[in-house]
Structure 1
Amino acid sequence: MPSAKNLGRGPSVVHEANGRIRLRGRLFADPALDHAYVEAMIMALPGVIEARLNAGAACLVARHDGRPGVREAILAALGDLPDEAFLPGRRRKREGLDKAAALGLLALGAKRLPRPLGGLLSWLAAAPVIAGGLETLINRGLKVEVLDAAAVSALLLRGDYRAAGAIVALLALGRHLEQTSEEKSSALLKSLLAVGDEDVSVERDGAEIRQPAAKLAIGDIVVCGPGDKIVVDGQVTWGQAELNQSSITGEARPVAVEVGDRVISGATVQDGKIKIRAQQVGRHTAMARVGSFIETAVRHQSEPEKRSARLADRLTPVSLGLAGGLLLLTGDTRRAVSVLTVDFGCALKLAAPLAVKTAMYNAGRRGVLIKGARALEALSRVDAVVFDKTGTITHGDLEVTDVVPLDGMSAEELLALAAGAEEHYSHPVGRAVVRAARRRGLPQPALSQVDFIVAHGVSAYVADQRVLVGSLHFLAEDEGVDCSTAEGLCASLRDQGKSILYVGHENHLEGVIALRDRLRPEAGAVLAGLRAAGVEELVVLTGDHRQTAQALARDLPQLDAVRWELRPEDKAAIVAELQARGRVVAFVGDGVNDAPALVTADVGVCMPAGAELARDAAQVVLLQDDLWGLLSARQLAARFQATVGQSFFAAIGLNCAIMLAAAAGRLSPLGAALLHNLSTIGILGHAAAANLRPAETGPRALPQERVS
């Protein structure tokens, strides 16, 4: 599909006033144009408040904040839409409620008009339905539109203008209600995009200045007071505040934050004042990323969606054949037409996409970003969950508990030496050591030739002498340092659930540093909840020593296994091993070294503070720094799968019953059409409502405000 620019169909401005711009162009009436994509793309532009596309009027209306450059950005975006904005073969003609009402009035008055006039008006009203059926037959084969055209044509040929007009009106009303349901589900998702692009307060050289949020950079200190919307993901560095996070998690009650807590974009300061060091800005913030997930949800179908669509297409010839068979056997046109008014396509094809969008919206409101239908479907089938220990089952916020020199150094010298080597290594262990040294005011030695060995340790030079800081495997096996003198001491520390950092200097062991990570308080309850939700195997992977890992296993009896002393490549291999046993595996991690396992797993789940690579590799991203979101996501995915199954069987069962009643002569064409449309709307309503209910357990299983 060529872009709008190549087609020369760029829109023109027809009205503009007070930050509201109305554009018209043939582009907007293109039936292959993806409305949700275009609206989300425009809403994601800095300064845009709202965007609405009306295909019937071939126009788009956008509201913006009036800042320089916003208008031009909107025009530029619409003047060269990407290929992804078009969906070949997808017909998007909008059916208005007024059209359905007019057709209904025409049907009611058909009998009262002179027969030639009533017949002419009825044929004219039905012409779009008949033309659509012929076009579908020629271009796409036997589809639902062919059944509709055949039913209406047969009634018109019989001279039953009232029934024909009523069915045409019902078809228009049905399409209007179906499109309205679809648009509302898309609007729910798009509502999560509103992160805000207003001016914000930033601290510069001890003073507060105002600047556009679009100019924020990572590391900036953003100052937020009452009423301010948080537009960055980051960590509180000063102050205390109560945040309203209802637009993110669905929690109506405010959440207290203080120094050290992580906050995400989209929340509003209700009371207090805080300073936030920005860790993600602009399109990289948690809520801004929802735009790409809308595209994923629209374009990539889950297996249940594909199966439903295939079955709907296969049943169309069956309906046509049944109607034809009845006509040949009984000669009863009325029965045959009644059968033709019943089709399986609407409910089967629309219920699953509607369920996908509402489930994604519900998850997003509960602090979980699920990247589309495939992730939802896979998450519902997961029967094994594998956790990387640090930062997931534990907080990943390590504290130094013991500094034990073994070869003449003081504890302060040993800690300073280790902190010097670890200072530029962005890892929980390194950060904990550096933090402990700074608290004690220890000067750090000048280093050179610093090399980081992922998941092993650090090698550096101090005054031409090599310093090694890392795991037992790194020092003893890779570098040949004799660590036997610390065996008894380290065994005792590990029995206490502590991790050990070995410090070597010129090929001999200088001492060890013990660190302890805090188990997440909700870990046990979440593991139990996952087990109750159908997960059969729970595994934790760690690079820690056996004794430290076993201490964790004692604290969490819900676990089936803990694997220790692992390298990054081992995690992906263990995931593949579980898959080879027939498991559907979810992997939960947050680091760069977790990316291979996140990609290997059937579902990758990334914690909120995860590295960018891990966030991109994962299919599910948790926005709150706890594990409740994982349980909520699993429950919502299971409900989505159940809803799709219920919708599938309801569509088959109800339509079969209506079709059999029509074939037996118990239903008129109008009665069959009415029951068919009512059942379809009911199924779609159930698909939407079921997936908007909150999750069953956990602190975020709270009532949501009503969405209109």
Structure 2
Amino acid sequence: MKCKIMHESSGRIRVHMIQKYMSLAQADILEYYLRSKKFVTGVKVFDRTCDAIINYTGERKNIINALSEFSYENKENTSLVPEQTGRQLSREYEDKLVWRIIGRIFRKIVIPVPIRNIMSVIKSLKYIKEGIKLLAKGKIEVPVLDATAITVSIIRKDFNTASSVMFLLGIGELLDEWTHKKSVTDLAGTMSLGIDKVWLLKDGQEILVPVNEIRKGDNVIVRTGSMIPLDGKVINGEAHVNQSSMTGESAPVHKKNGSLVYAGTVVEDGCITVCVDKVTGSGRYDRIVKMIENSEKLKSETEDKASHLADKLVPYSLGATILTYLITGNASKALSILMVDFSCALKLAMPVSVLSAMRECSQKCITVKGGKFLENVAEADTIVFDKTGTLTFAKPRVKNVVAFNGRNPDEMLRIAACLEEHYPHSMANAVVDEAARRGITHEECHSDVQYIVAHGISSYVDGEKVVIGSYHFVFEDEKCIILDDDNKKFSSLPDEYSHLYLAIAGVLSAVICIEDPLREEAADVVKYLKAAGIEKAVMMTGDSKRTAIAVGK
């Protein structure tokens, strides 16, 4: 892509793209393409001028090369753009604001005064009607204040003031709506799925492919513990799906052939093949927006107080208006009290603050469904941590493979990786990564895989039942045994590692020792939380009691 450098300084460059016109979609493609580069720290793209301001680290030539390689038609570049970026929304409201101001200037210059006065009276009916409705219900709230200011101005034949009040109210409503929609859009945008690859069923084979290569009509396999990547219909298998992120239902929903499933929901138990209906994910985005808007109904006490306080201030504003007129006898001074309507700002401030807080939490991978829950967290006295990936590193690594029953360690690792590659848990990833590091290939050599949540995996290899998972699952649930000759070796397994047990045909065949170092900051975080008022910190883990005690200490 050709461009011209307009200005540059250390770590910052402004370029002009050599093109006559830049669409909003093109601006988004350019912005997210540049954001995807590790050396880029910030990007602003101005579609009206076809310019881009780029902040970067490292060598200047990296930026020049990235810009020269850029193309709007490249599918990889277009796939980087999220479903909703907010650029279209901002342009829509910018145009509304500009045209509203232009319209007012036009009316003042072109339309005769008598006609403008009639238009002001007609326009005022909406505000007066709303004020009368509230008064009829015995309520004195902000719309009553607005209606009073407009009515008094019209009675005094001060049509300019009435028109100005309605114009400013209209601008305020527009900015209110813009701010609200922008906050919701930004929050929904941050709640992306974060799924990079999926299992595609093609010609009877399962192939791991990037999610952006999936097309409408493709069949995707989703197993227990995995998130459904795209909207679609179940064509094979059964599963219990957790839809709480979309619908708020706490109980998993049973899905079978013909059932619709939604992107972002999680398969808690079972395995299903999904025929993809929507590759854009628009259905998910719409549901996220709806969830956020519904969550606003779960207002915090602070939001409720702010809303009620704003309405309670209205009688005082009306009282101050009357008092000012009685003291001064000047209607203009009295009317000016009605113009100072800070109640609206008070009503708007708290919801926007809550939405901003929810967005910031979402950027830090914390999902908050309403202001009510933000306040509940402040009152919490107990916090529960998952061990693996939270208190410990997100990527545990295999330290050793101890074989039993005369088995070969590499062969045991191959079978373990073959089973574990279907599930997203960090312990499973460690096994798969270690097999790759050792150059061990693991083609599909097993039958259907059954995943038991928080326990392990069961399947058949060459006609023999193979189970892999926790001690409880392998020895207590599956009743597997340890050969007498292996008891001494089993007793000498190192305590400092987490153990993944693999049994074939009911006999222990290998123990995979996994090192999952404690995060350096974990102890400090717990101390900080206790200093902040948390009285009890609880750790939950599927590991053995021995490993749990070691980590807890």
TM, length-normalised to structure 2 = 0.53
Relative to structure 1, is the Cα distance of residues 189 and 525 closer, same or farther in structure 2, using a 3 angstrom cutoff?
farther
Letter in 2 for 1:354: V
> Once the 2 structures are TM-superposed, how far is the Cα of residue 149 of structure 1 from its aligned partner?
2.5
Give the corresponding residue for 2:343: 345
Relative to structure 1, is the Cα distance of residues 95 and 312 closer, same or farther in structure 2, using a 3 angstrom cutoff?
farther
**Conservation of the 8 A alpha-carbon contact between 2:405 and 2:483:** no
Structure 1 segment 78-477 matched on structure 2, within 5 A: 96-97=100-101, 125=120, 128-129=123-124, 131-138=126-133, 141=137, 142-154=140-152, 157=155, 159=156, 161=158, 165-166=160-161, 169=164, 172-173=167-168, 175-177=170-172, 179-180=174-175, 183=178, 186-187=181-182, 190=185, 283=280, 293-301=288-296, 302-303=299-300, 304-316=302-314, 320=318, 340-341=338-339, 343=341, 345-360=343-358, 362=360, 373=371, 376=374, 382-419=380-417, 421-422=419-420, 424-437=422-435, 439=438, 441=440, 446-448=445-447, 450-477=449-476
Give the corresponding residue for 2:88: 50
Larger RCO: 1 or 2 (CA < 8 Å, sep 6+): 1
Give the corresponding residue for 1:495: 495
Once residues 384 and 537 of structure 2 are traced to their aligned partners in structure 1, the CA distance between those partners, rounded to angstroms, is 6
> Once the 2 structures are TM-superposed, how far is the Cα of residue 546 of structure 1 from its aligned partner?
1.4
**Conservation of the 8 A alpha-carbon contact between 1:457 and 1:471:** yes
Give the corresponding residue for 1:481: 480
Give the corresponding residue for 1:549: 548
Once residues 131 and 450 of structure 1 are traced to their aligned partners in structure 2, the CA distance between those partners, rounded to angstroms, is 65
Letter in 2 for 1:495: D
C-alpha RMSD of the superposition: 5.4
SS in 2 for 1:503: strand
Q: Deviations over 1:455-482 (max 9, x none)?
A: 2223333444433322211122213334
Q: Deviations over 1:451-506 (max 9, x none)?
A: 3322222333344443332221112221333459778766764631x111223344
Letter in 1 for 2:542: G
Letter in 2 for 1:519: L
**Conservation of the 8 A alpha-carbon contact between 2:464 and 2:505:** yes
Structure 1 segment 560-575 matched on structure 2, within 5 A: none
**Conservation of the 8 A alpha-carbon contact between 2:398 and 2:515:** yes
Identity %: 29
Relative to structure 1, is the Cα distance of residues 129 and 382 closer, same or farther in structure 2, using a 3 angstrom cutoff?
farther
> Once the 2 structures are TM-superposed, how far is the Cα of residue 378 of structure 1 from its aligned partner?
5.1
Letter in 1 for 2:168: L
Q: Deviations over 1:119-177 (max 9, x none)?
A: 997786466346512344237854322223324434555x484xx85475356336525
Letter in 1 for 2:171: H
Q: Deviations over 1:277-307 (max 9, x none)?
A: xxxx96459xx97775555444532223344
> Once the 2 structures are TM-superposed, how far is the Cα of residue 514 of structure 1 from its aligned partner?
1.5
Once residues 131 and 423 of structure 1 are traced to their aligned partners in structure 2, the CA distance between those partners, rounded to angstroms, is 63
**Conservation of the 8 A alpha-carbon contact between 1:447 and 1:461:** yes
Once residues 439 and 115 of structure 2 are traced to their aligned partners in structure 1, the CA distance between those partners, rounded to angstroms, is 93
Relative to structure 1, is the Cα distance of residues 119 and 543 closer, same or farther in structure 2, using a 3 angstrom cutoff?
same
> Once the 2 structures are TM-superposed, how far is the Cα of residue 534 of structure 1 from its aligned partner?
5.0
Letter in 2 for 1:501: L
Q: Deviations over 1:602-628 (max 9, x none)?
A: xxxxxxxxxxxxxxxxxxxxxxxxxxx
Once residues 213 and 513 of structure 1 are traced to their aligned partners in structure 2, the CA distance between those partners, rounded to angstroms, is 35
> Once the 2 structures are TM-superposed, how far is the Cα of residue 349 of structure 1 from its aligned partner?
1.7
Once residues 495 and 513 of structure 1 are traced to their aligned partners in structure 2, the CA distance between those partners, rounded to angstroms, is 12
> Once the 2 structures are TM-superposed, how far is the Cα of residue 542 of structure 1 from its aligned partner?
0.4
**Conservation of the 8 A alpha-carbon contact between 1:130 and 1:152:** no
**Conservation of the 8 A alpha-carbon contact between 2:154 and 2:162:** no
> Once the 2 structures are TM-superposed, how far is the Cα of residue 218 of structure 1 from its aligned partner?
11
Once residues 328 and 166 of structure 1 are traced to their aligned partners in structure 2, the CA distance between those partners, rounded to angstroms, is 18
Letter in 1 for 2:478: E
Relative to structure 1, is the Cα distance of residues 56 and 145 closer, same or farther in structure 2, using a 3 angstrom cutoff?
farther
Letter in 2 for 1:180: L
**Conservation of the 8 A alpha-carbon contact between 1:95 and 1:175:** no
Q: Deviations over 1:532-563 (max 9, x none)?
A: 55544432210111121122123xxxxxxxxx
Relative to structure 1, is the Cα distance of residues 289 and 506 closer, same or farther in structure 2, using a 3 angstrom cutoff?
closer
SS in 1 for 2:148: helix
